[in-house]
Amino acid sequence: MRILVVEDDRKVASFLERGLREEGYAVDVAHDGVDGSMKAHVYDYDVLVVDVM
């Protein structure tokens, strides 16, 4: 399963990424909405975890 985490707080993003990877998920991280939108349109994700910014 491939997951995109969109989170502007780098500590929170790192925490989520590490935890999800430990559970065996493929994880990409975007630190702003522009990067997150670009990645979401280019790659196929099963789940998007989006911080309300």
The pLDDT value given to residue 51: 92
**What range does the domain containing 7 cover?**
2-50
Vertex 8: Cα angle to 39 and 49 (nearest 5):
55
The pLDDT value given to residue 53: 65
CATH of the domain at 13: 3.40.50.2300
The pLDDT value given to residue 52: 85
As a whole number of angstroms, the distance between CA 43 and CA 12 comes to 23
pLDDT tens digit at each of 53 positions of the chain: 999 999 999 999 999 999 999 999 999 999 999 999 999 999 999 999 999 86
Residue in this structure with the two tokens 């707080």, named with its chain if needed: 9
Vertex 45: Cα angle to 10 and 21 (nearest 5):
50
Category of 31 on φ-ψ map: left (φ > 0), alpha (ψ -120 to 50) or beta: alpha
